């Protein structure tokens, strides 16, 4: 018995030794697996460069130079360089804060109904036939970026001429240059971004003939992204007559117009005026969609409030009908974010639906647009009269006043832009774009002096 018990003890202790050894082995394996996992599973992740626009803001914030200026990101600042909360937005927030009936439930997948209805009216116009015929499908999005993303994703899945096509064949034509994020957004949803000629560096203006020629030669039913107004980054917009020529070719070639409208009201100070191109295309029955953002015109950068509008050929749920399109957009929204956020939608919804607040908003937009126009004049005057700075184009510095919207494409070359940032502490993108909204009476002299020195190679 003892021996058997000892043997049984012995076997128990042997087996517990074996178990301990096994455990040790397993835990070693696990440790090595987890350490190799932490090494290996991300092993091939390439290092991505920082975002060109937001890296400038980070650089600016770290800079201790007292005359530093941020002309990088397109965000409106007041005359003291401070972020601007629109008075009408302040009022809307107070109304919302005092409203005890508001809860924190989910919004419908398409977004806040009062916002969704009003936002399409804002872009297409109250008397739009597309609206009265119930052909417009609108969903609330995460600002203009979200709208671009959904627009691209929707085309990638459902645009008839692309069905069964590879990524390489699904080409979306973008103006050269365009907002830096466009390429990245469309690449991420299975499209291939391709440049079309738009800006002429020699004239610092629109290269209309090259653009029209390209439109004519592109395969039928090509998809072109158009900036509805206040082209980013150049500030160069077609005139109404030029838009008409562009629309004519769209119609002949059956091209699809992908409008990005991030600056309605900001170009001319007038909401209807800035929607003219979109409304003209609708009146010509050109197939299109429109992305909207309230970041700039309502100063709601962080609230991420925007919309995507797709115009269908007819209402209802038959093939190609608006209801079918809506059903698929709802799926897309649900997959990506489930339901859109409430706060920005409530603010904009209030402003768009209340007559007095809407009028006040229009005044706020004019305040912003006109301060920018004043800064254009001031910068132009300093470069021309005070510094007599050699101009980069044939029309002197007139592009500073003739370009519209938030940006001026200065014509400075990459080396001069680098000097502006590194030695002038004037933060601007390397393509020569400056955000006019960052200029004010206190810093415009310094900026003009830096531009002058950069152009003369003395900065």
**Per CB under 6 A, 179 contacts ligand LMR:** yes
Q: Where are the alpha helices (DSSP H) in 382-441?
A: 398-402, 414-422
Q: Are 260 and 227 in contact (CB under 8 A)?
A: yes
Output DSSP code: residue 436.
Answer: G
- Residues in a beta bridge with 291: 260, 308
Residue nearest to ligand LMR (CB): 74
Distance CA 94, CA 103 (A): 16
What would the 3-class secondary structure string for 325-378 be?
Answer: HHHHHHHHHHHHCCCCCCHHHHHHHHHHHCHHHHHHHHHHHHHHHHHHHHHHHH
Q: Which of 71, 73, 110, 185 binds ligand LMR (CB under 6 A)?
A: 73
Q: How far is CA 299 from the centre of its chain?
A: 14
- Assigned token pair, 145: 């970026």
Helices (H) then strands (E): counts for the chain: 17, 13
CB of 143 to ligand LMR, least distance (A): 9
**Per CB under 6 A, 405 contacts ligand LMR:** no
Of 91 and 182, the one with the shorter C-beta distance to ligand LMR is: 182
Catalytic (active site) residue 453: no
**Per CB under 6 A, 53 contacts ligand LMR:** yes
Of 74 and 287, the one with the shorter C-beta distance to ligand LMR is: 74
Of 53 and 298, the one with the shorter C-beta distance to ligand LMR is: 53
Strands 288-293, 305-311: parallel, antiparallel or unpaired by DSSP? antiparallel
Strands 433-435, 407-409: parallel, antiparallel or unpaired by DSSP? antiparallel
CB of 267 to ligand LMR, least distance (A): 14
Q: Which of 56, 74, 136, 346 binds ligand LMR (CB under 6 A)?
A: 74
Contacts of 429 (CB under 8 A, 6+ apart): 52, 53, 56, 72, 180, 233, 417
Of 74 and 238, the one with the shorter C-beta distance to ligand LMR is: 74
Active-site choice (91, 170, 171, 179): 179
Q: Are 315 and 305 in contact (CB under 8 A)?
A: no
CB of 353 to ligand LMR, least distance (A): 26
Q: Please provide the DSSP assignment of 271-315 as one string.
A: HHHHTHHHHHHHHTT--EEEEEE-TTTS--TTTTEEEEEEE-SBS
The residues in 110-149 that bind ligand LMR, with binding defined as CB under 6 A, are none
**Per CB under 6 A, 450 contacts ligand LMR:** no
Catalytic (active site) residue 179: yes
**Per CB under 6 A, 173 contacts ligand LMR:** no
CB of 457 to ligand LMR, least distance (A): 28
Distance CA 307, CA 329 (A): 12
Q: By rule CB under 6 A, what string of x and - marks binding of each residue 282-321 to ligand LMR?
A: ----------------------------------------
How many residues belong to the site for ligand LMR (CB under 6 A)? 6
- The CA-atom distances, in angstroms, between 296 and each of 59, 305, 314, 348, 374 are 22, 10, 32, 12, 18
Q: By rule CB under 6 A, what string of x and - marks binding of each residue 221-260 to ligand LMR?
A: -----------x----------------------------
CB of 431 to ligand LMR, least distance (A): 11
Active-site choice (296, 362, 378, 453): 296
Catalytic residue set: 179, 260, 296
Residues in touch with ligand LMR (CB under 6 A)? 53, 73-74, 179, 181, 232
């Amino acid at each position: 018995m003892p021996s058997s018990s000892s043997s049984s003890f012995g076997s128990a202790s042997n087996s517990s030794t074996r178990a301990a050894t096994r455990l040790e082995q397993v835990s070693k394996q696990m440790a090595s697996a987890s350490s190799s996992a932490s090494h290996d599973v991300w092993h091939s992740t390439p290092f991505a460069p920082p975002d060109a626009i937001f890296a400038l803001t980070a650089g600016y914030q770290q800079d201790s130079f007292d005359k530093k200026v941020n002309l990088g990101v397109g965000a409106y600042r007041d005359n003291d360089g401070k972020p601007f909360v629109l008075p009408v937005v302040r009022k809307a927030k107070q109304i919302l804060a005092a409203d005890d009936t508001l809860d924190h439930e989910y919004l419908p997948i398409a977004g806040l109904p009062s916002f969704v209805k009003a936002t399409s009216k804002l872009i297409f116009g109250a008397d739009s036939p597309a609206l009265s015929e119930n052909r417009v499908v609108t969903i609330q999005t995460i600002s203009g970026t979200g709208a671009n993303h959904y627009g691209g994703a929707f085309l990638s899945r459902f645009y008839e001429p692309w069905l069964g096509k590879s990524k390489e064949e699904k080409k979306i034509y973008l103006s050269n240059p365009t907002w830096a994020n466009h390429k990245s957004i469309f690449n991420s949803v299975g499209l291939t971004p391709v440049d079309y000629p738009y800006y002429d560096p020699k004239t610092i203006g629109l290269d209309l003939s090259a653009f029209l020629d390209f439109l004519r030669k592109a395969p039928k039913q090509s998809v072109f992204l158009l900036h509805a107004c206040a082209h980013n980054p150049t500030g160069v917009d077609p005139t109404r007559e030029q838009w008409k020529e562009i629309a004519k070719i769209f119609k002949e070639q059956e091209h699809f117009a992908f409008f990005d409208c991030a600056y309605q009201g900001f170009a001319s100070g007038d909401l209807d005026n800035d929607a003219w191109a979109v409304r003209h295309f609708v009146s010509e029955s050109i197939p299109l969609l429109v992305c909207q953002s309230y970041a700039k015109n309502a100063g709601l950068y962080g609230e991420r409030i925007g919309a995507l509008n797709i115009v269908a050929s007819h209402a209802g749920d038959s093939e190609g009908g608006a209801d079918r399109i809506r059903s698929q957009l709802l799926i897309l929204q649900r997959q990506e974010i489930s339901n859109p956020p409430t706060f920005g939608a409530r603010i904009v919804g209030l402003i768009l639906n209340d007559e007095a607040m809407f009028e006040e908003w229009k005044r706020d937009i004019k305040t912003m647009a006109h301060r920018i126009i004043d800064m254009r004049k001031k910068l132009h005057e300093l470069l021309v009269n005070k510094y007599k700075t050699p101009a980069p184009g044939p029309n002197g510095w007139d592009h500073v006043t003739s370009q519209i919207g938030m940006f001026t494409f200065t014509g400075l070359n990459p080396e001069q832009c680098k000097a502006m940032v590194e030695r002038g502490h004037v933060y601007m993108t390397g393509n020569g774009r400056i955000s006019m909204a960052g200029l004010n009476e206190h810093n415009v002299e310094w900026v003009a002096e830096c531009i002058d020195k950069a152009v003369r190679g003395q900065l």
